[in-house]
Amino acid sequence: MKAVRVVVTGRVQGVGFRWSARRAAERIGVAGWVRNEAGGAVEAHIEGPAERVDAMLAWLARGPDDADVRDVEQREAKVEAIQGFAIK
């Protein structure tokens, strides 16, 4: 199991990023959560098998069609054994 905490910056709020991220996470098969941050970024916690987490990170680097992702910062996180994927 692998877990990462991610902060995505750019035009990522007001473009359906969180809802699209949840759909992508469910399709890819990872658990975690996603939320908007006050400064305009989106933060996420992703966990699951390493190859699936990597696939979700690749999706986050693109985002939905209306997003303009400028940067994705990631750091290793503790596996929390989260079930499902939530929008906070």
> Position 61: which residue type?
A
Degrees (nearest 5) of the Cα angle 53, 56, 34? 100
* Residue 5 is among the residues annotated as catalytic for this protein: no
The one catalytic residue among 5, 11, 23, 36: 36
The one catalytic residue among 18, 22, 27, 52: 18
What sign does the CA torsion over 85, 28, 19, 58 have? positive
d(CA 39, CA 26): 27
* Residue 36 is among the residues annotated as catalytic for this protein: yes
Active site residues: 18, 36
